[in-house]
Each structure stands twice: as C-alpha cells, then as structure tokens.
C-alpha cells in the first residue's frame, strides 16, 4: 500500500495520524495518507513569501513552458508518489476507485487538466485580457495603449481546500504557479491523487518543489489554510458559500445551478435541442457545477421532460471500468439513500411529476456503495421547491415558466445556456447579474471554452489593479526597456 506523506514546502512529513484511502467497491486500502494538523499549516504559512521569491527567479514564460512539460509527464509518465510510484493508468484506476467516478471520466478529467497546462499562454492571455505578463511579474508596466498600469499581487501563494468527489475542479488552480505564486493545497480525503501527481509532475518539469505544500487532514486543516492564506479557494455546499460570502480572502465554489432557457422563439423546435439538454444533464455523472439542473420553457415542458426521461431513465449503474459507465457511485455509507429521500420529498409536492418513474427504481445499493439513476422532474411552475435544486447525480427539473419571468425565477446560475434569437431577451440575459457564464445558442452547459474568462477570474482574485504614477522620463525608459 502506498504511504503518502504531507508535503511542507516540498519536504515530506509523515504524521502520526493517517487516513486510509479505500476502494469504494471492495473496501481494500489503496493508500495511507498522513494527516496534517491545523497548527502545522498556520506555522508553515509564515514562510509563504519564500514561494513567490523562488518563483520570481523564473520568468512567467519559463514557468509556462515548464508547466506544459509537466502536462506530458502528468499524462504519460510514471511519477513518484509517497513511498512508491504511480503510472498514468494507475492514476485513473486509483481516482476511480476512491471517488466512485467511472474510469473513462477520470481519464477525461485528466485530459482536461493537461489541456489547461499545455495551453497556459492562451489561458493567461484570456484571463488577463491580453496584458503583458511581465506586468504581473514586475507589478507595473506599460499597457499597449501607452498607459502605465500596476497589478499588485495580493498573496505569495494560493490556498485551496479541494473537494473529495469532484476531480474536475483542478483546472481552476493550475494557472497559479505560472503566475509566480506558490500552491498550498488540502487535497480531498478521497481524492489526494490529482494534487500529488501535479506536484510530482511540476517537480520533474523543473519547478522547485519548495513552492508547493500539500496538507491532507481534517476540518482544522482547512480552517487553518483559509485563515492563514491571504487568498484561497474552497469547494463546498451552499452552506460553505454562505459562510464565506463577502470574505475577500476566500473564493467559494459550490453548487452551480446551471440552466438551459428555451426562448419562446425556439421552444416549438425543442426536439432539435434534445441532445444539448441530455448532454448538459448527464455528462460527468451529473457531478459538476456546470451540469444542467434546470431547463426552463414556457410550453412543451411535459414533452421535454418525457423525452429526456426516455433517454436518461433507462441508464443502469455499470462497473467503473466499463466504457459506457455513466453514473458515479456514492461511496459514503447511506448517502445515496439519503439524497434520494430528499429528492422524493420534493417529488411529492403539488405540481411536480417524476418523468423517470416508468423506468424503475432509482436507487441501486451495492455492498459498499450506492448509485442513483437519473431523475427528470417536471415542475408546473418555478415556485416548486424542486425547480431550484441541484444534486450530485444526473438530475434535472424541467420547469414551466413564462419567458418574461425566467431570468428572475432562475436565481443564481453558474452557466446559463439561452436558446433564442430574440435580441431584446438576449440583452436582458446579458444584463442579468444572477447568470455568471452565458451561452447564447445551443451550447451544452458543460462545454467550457477555456479561452473565455471564467467564473471567479483568478487574476482579479490574486492581483489588485491600482494607480501607479511615474515621471514621464521613467515612463519613456519603461517603454524603451
């Protein structure tokens, strides 16, 4: 069994407390992971400024090249992991075994991470909207329009409390090292794999190991990380979002409540968009914040719900190594049953119909895990509780709602796909502050273009734009230099 230590600025630390990462289906231990304690994190963070000092010895371009090299290593090579090593295939098997996500989805997430690592120049261009990256490094510089600008780094490191059950979120923190900031990560208890493998690939690609710390552990570790890092991100539930709302040091990623809006001008052709709707709900086992949990239309909603149910309802729980496996397992005892009970409670409400009812029982209980097969609900109006719910399996409410009420009724929406050509309504959607990413046209909610600035823009979070005045001769020297 692999013994995985905590990593304190590149140095392994074997704790007296460990947690076993086990195979969700067999219960067999895969790795024994050292648990840090909060105090270690607080204490280590006193040296956080060293990470930026070390990274500033490299140019951003150099770091981008190293990260691109790391992508190849991450994707293909056998890399050191704790007391042993891990091949790329083992990574996929390990991640699937501990998170319950089918192997092909793990591989797809792996490729997504590699895409971001390989295309870092373009991604940083998009995040900075074309800024000369040396300005981020130096703190000031000349913009292309001939004005001195300053972006001041707000932290030497980014902290992140990573989730256990969503291996797809790592792309959000991958651009940090090229921005010359260190990484302080608390890996999820069931998903230590990505953080450790990225750290290993970075080191082998020539990025100093002293700029990364990995602290597996309990809640006290997460708390200490969020308190002691000037900038950090956390992935959690709506409760977590509420807890850190308004805290400028913490960026919270939680449920997405992503939605598809069918405009009155297109809804009669809804069958043309069925593939978009099905993909948006079902892809990645329905586990992502960018999966669609609500489809809003003013008419045909019963037919839409039945058509989606016809496609998703019969889907069975398959073994994780099966290439057609589309559902992720709930690996914690009783969780699948409890979540289904919550959904069933909402399905009982007036005006709500379970369109997947004809397709058999939704709960599949195995010896050590459970699955929930897709559920498609029809809601007669947006006031039905179920219309504003999101769950960690393929779930969607098809909500009957007049077009002029849709934007307000949608509430907080991470990705909104509006299928319409109505220019007035597009203007309203564009102005809607409750919708974060907006797709106009039949684009599945899950299809993110990485060359678009995305939610919680990392540059805005890590840097502060400020006034920076210099004498004209200095400006001239700057331009010349």
- By the criterion CB under 8 A, which residues form the site for other proteins? 15-17, 35, 37, 39-40, 42-43, 46, 220, 223, 227, 242-243
Per the document, the length of the chain is 481
Which residues make Cβ contacts (< 8 Å) with residue 239, sequence separation at least 6?
A: none
Instruction: State the minimum distance, in angstroms, from the CB of residue 260 to other proteins.
Output: 33
Cα 445 from Cα 368, distance rounded (Å): 32
Instruction: State the minimum distance, in angstroms, from the CB of residue 39 to other proteins.
Output: 5
Instruction: State the minimum distance, in angstroms, from the CB of residue 210 to other proteins.
Output: 18
Instruction: State the minimum distance, in angstroms, from the CB of residue 7 to other proteins.
Output: 16
Q: Exposed, middle or buried, 6 (CB in 10 Å: 0-12/13-18/19+)?
A: buried
- Comparing CB distances to other proteins, the nearer of 3 and 264 is 3
* Residue 276 and residue 417 in contact, taking contact as beta carbons nearer than 8 Å: yes
Instruction: State the minimum distance, in angstroms, from the CB of residue 192 to other proteins.
Output: 18
Q: What SS3 class is residue 419?
A: strand
The alpha carbon of 376 is separated from its chain's Cα centroid by a whole number of angstroms, namely 24
Which residues make Cβ contacts (< 8 Å) with residue 16, sequence separation at least 6?
A: none
Task: Give the β-pairing of 148-153 and 463-466.
Answer: antiparallel
Instruction: State the minimum distance, in angstroms, from the CB of residue 252 to other proteins.
Output: 13
Q: What SS3 class is residue 237?
A: coil
- Comparing CB distances to other proteins, the nearer of 241 and 349 is 241
Task: Give the β-pairing of 375-379 and 258-262.
Answer: unpaired
- Comparing CB distances to other proteins, the nearer of 238 and 434 is 238
- Comparing CB distances to other proteins, the nearer of 3 and 132 is 3
Identify the CA nearest to 380 among candidates 350, 418, 360, 337.
350
Instruction: State the minimum distance, in angstroms, from the CB of residue 246 to other proteins.
Output: 10
Looking at residue 7, the DSSP 8-state letter turns out to be E
Instruction: State the minimum distance, in angstroms, from the CB of residue 182 to other proteins.
Output: 20
Instruction: State the minimum distance, in angstroms, from the CB of residue 363 to other proteins.
Output: 23
- Comparing CB distances to other proteins, the nearer of 192 and 374 is 192
* Residue 245 and residue 252 in contact, taking contact as beta carbons nearer than 8 Å: yes
- Comparing CB distances to other proteins, the nearer of 42 and 78 is 42
- Comparing CB distances to other proteins, the nearer of 63 and 250 is 250
What does the block give as tokens for 356?
């997947």
Instruction: State the minimum distance, in angstroms, from the CB of residue 168 to other proteins.
Output: 27
Q: What SS3 class is residue 367?
A: coil
- Comparing CB distances to other proteins, the nearer of 228 and 356 is 228
Cα-Cα-Cα-Cα dihedral sign, residues 240, 246, 247, 252? positive
- Comparing CB distances to other proteins, the nearer of 26 and 247 is 247
Give the Cβ contact number of residue 424 at 10 Å.
8
- Comparing CB distances to other proteins, the nearer of 6 and 312 is 6
Instruction: State the minimum distance, in angstroms, from the CB of residue 219 to other proteins.
Output: 10
What does the block give as tokens for 378?
């029809």
* Residue 305 and residue 376 in contact, taking contact as beta carbons nearer than 8 Å: yes
CA distances from 272 to 266, 297, 300, 331 (A): 9, 14, 13, 37
- Comparing CB distances to other proteins, the nearer of 78 and 227 is 227
Helix axes 423-431 and 403-410, enclosed angle (nearest 10): 10
């Amino acid at each position: 069994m692999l013994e995985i230590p905590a990593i304190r600025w590149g140095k392994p630390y074997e704790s007296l407390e460990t947690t076993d990462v086990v195979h969700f289906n067999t219960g067999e231990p895969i790795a024994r992971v050292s648990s840090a304690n909060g105090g270690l994190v607080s204490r280590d963070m006193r040296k956080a400024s060293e990470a930026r000092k070390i990274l500033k010895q490299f140019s951003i371009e150099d770091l981008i090249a190293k990260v691109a090299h790391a992508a190849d290593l991450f994707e293909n090579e056998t890399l050191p992991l704790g007391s042993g090593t891990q091949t790329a295939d083992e990574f996929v098997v390990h991640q699937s075994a501990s998170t319950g996500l089918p192997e092909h989805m793990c591989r797809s997430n792996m490729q997504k991470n590699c895409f971001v690592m390989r295309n870092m120049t373009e991604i940083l261009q998009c995040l900075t909207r074309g800024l000369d990256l040396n300005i981020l490094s130096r703190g000031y510089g000349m913009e292309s329009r001939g004005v001195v600008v300053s972006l001041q780094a707000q932290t030497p490191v980014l902290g992140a409390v990573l989730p256990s059950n969503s291996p797809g979120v790592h792309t959000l923190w991958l651009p940090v090292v090229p921005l010359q900031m260190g990484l302080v990560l608390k890996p999820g208890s069931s998903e230590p794999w990505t953080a450790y493998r990225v750290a290993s690939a970075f080191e082998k690609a020539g990025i100093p190991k002293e700029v990364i710390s990995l602290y597996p552990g309990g809640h006290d570790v997460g708390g200490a990380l969020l308190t002691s890092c000037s900038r950090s991100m956390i992935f959690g539930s709506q409760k977590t979002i509420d807890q850190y709302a308004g805290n400028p040091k913490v960026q919270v990623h939680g449920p997405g409540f992503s939605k598809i809006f069918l405009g009155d001008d297109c809804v009669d052709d809804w069958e043309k968009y069925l593939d978009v709707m099905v993909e948006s709900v079902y892809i990645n086992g329905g586990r992502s914040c960018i999966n669609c949990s609500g489809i809003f239309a003013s008419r045909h909603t019963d037919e839409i719900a039945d058509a989606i149910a016809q496609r998703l309802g019969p889907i069975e729980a398959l073994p994780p190594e099966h290439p057609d496996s589309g559902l992720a397992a709930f690996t914690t005892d009783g969780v699948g049953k409890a979540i289904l009970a919550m959904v069933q409670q909402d399905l009982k409400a007036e005006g709500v119909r379970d369109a997947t009812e004809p397709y058999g029982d939704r709960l599949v209980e195995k010896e050590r895990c459970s699955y929930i097969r897709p559920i498609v609900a029809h809601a007669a109006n947006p006031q039905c509780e179920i219309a504003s719910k999101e769950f960690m399996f393929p779930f969607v409410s098809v909500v009957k709602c007049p077009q002029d009420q849709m934007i307000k009724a949608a509430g907080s929406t991470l990705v909104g796909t509006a299928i319409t050509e109505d220019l007035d309504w597009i203007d309203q959607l564009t102005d809607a502050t409750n919708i974060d990413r907006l797709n106009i046209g039949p684009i599945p909610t899950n299809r993110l273009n990485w060359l678009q600035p995305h939610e919680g823009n990392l540059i805005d979070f890590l840097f502060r734009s400020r006034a920076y005045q210099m004498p004209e001769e200095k400006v001239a020297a700057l331009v010349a230099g």
